Homo-oligomer: A and B are copies of this chain.
């Protein structure tokens, strides 16, 4: 029928070629010291000659280790996640580990499926998802799989967690705009069901000190920022400052202002959140709240690795990361 699939070279082939047992071949290949030099040479030579590459799946099953860290993210799009993955990758390289990045997922069911599919492929999990709560986690996480949470709404200390203080960051940004003399500060919000977006909005509102909140809907996308910017232009009285719940929406908003001939910050000031790399390249460069995204990814990874190395079940209090206001030309 179809072309016969060529059988791959296994450790048995290597052992036969080197005329030793499979056990000795395994030991030689793995650099253990209970083999003679002569044996090791023969095995290595055979492996080389046959172009042997170990089947990692089989090794995983035997050792119960995969040397792989699973990463479940809400999305793979944009600089935020690119930075986060880069930070994780830094730590992963240093330890000789791999990164298994989950498909992006937009709802709780997809997140649950992503978590479930990690069992047996990874030694630990880094999970960032606005859709995941404690209940979903309990139902879908293999209970012996160490996990570190990033900005989920899971509370308690059953799992180690990193949490960006979105509320404080948003307050700082809003207060900054007001300290610049702005009186009508509008807010472009993120998705209504997103925990982080909620916290940022709350921080905005808490910083207003009695001023009337002006909130426009958004979904973290550049387009939604542009739409909100257009809506702001039509307001009367027009806001004199805008705090967007993330940088990409600020980018869209800035484009709308620019197209309408408004100057920033002359006519209207603007601030974002995240400090993605683009922020400092915009003109005017964007005032924003820096999270240290790559560093967050690295820290979460290191935390996970250290619990893996201890071997115990992962737990511990949540670490709160305080974001930093970066003042640039847009405010």
Contacts and interface: CB of A to CB of B under 8 A. Distances in A.
A26 interface: no
A86 interface: yes
Contact of A100 (B8, B98, B116): B98
A101 interface: yes
Interface string A47-80: 0000101111111110000101000000011110
A257 to B, nearest CB: 13
Given A51-B139, A54-B119, A58-B61, A92 B86 contact: no
A116 B98 CA distance: 13
A169 to B, nearest CB: 23
Query: What secondary structure prevails in chain A residues at the interface with B?
Result: loop
Interface stretch (A140-148, A178-186, A204-212): A140-148
Nearest to A78: B82
Copy number in this complex? 2
Contacts of A6: 143-144
A191 interface: no
Instruction: Give the interface size class of chain A.
Output: 35 or more
Given A6-B144, A78-B82, A100-B101, 14 more contacts: A2-B312, A5-B144, A6-B143, A53-B142, A55-B119, A56-B119, A57-B66, A57-B120, A59-B120, A89-B103, A100-B100, A277-B278, A278-B278, A281-B281
Residue from A3, A9, A61, A311 having most chain B Cβ neighbours under 10 A: A61
25 contacts: A5-B311, A6-B144, A8-B143, A8-B144, A51-B143, A53-B140, A53-B142, A54-B120, A56-B121, A57-B120, A76-B85, A77-B86, A78-B82, A79-B79, A82-B82, A85-B101, A98-B103, A99-B100, A100-B100, A255-B281, A277-B278, A278-B281, A281-B282, A282-B283, A283-B283
Interface string A240-251: 000000000001
Contacts of A302: none
A139 to B, nearest CB: 7
Interface of A: 2-3, 5-9, 51, 53-61, 66, 68, 76-79, 81-82, 85-86, 89, 92-93, 97-104, 116-121, 139-140, 142-144, 251, 255, 277-278, 281-283, 311-313
8 tightest CB-CB pairs across the interface, nearest first? A55-B120, A82-B82, A283-B283, A57-B120, A56-B120, A57-B60, A53-B119, A53-B142
Nearest to A66: B57
Contacts of A82: 76-79, 81-82
A51 B142 CA distance: 8
B313 A3 contact: yes
Nearest to A283: B283
A37 to B, nearest CB: 24
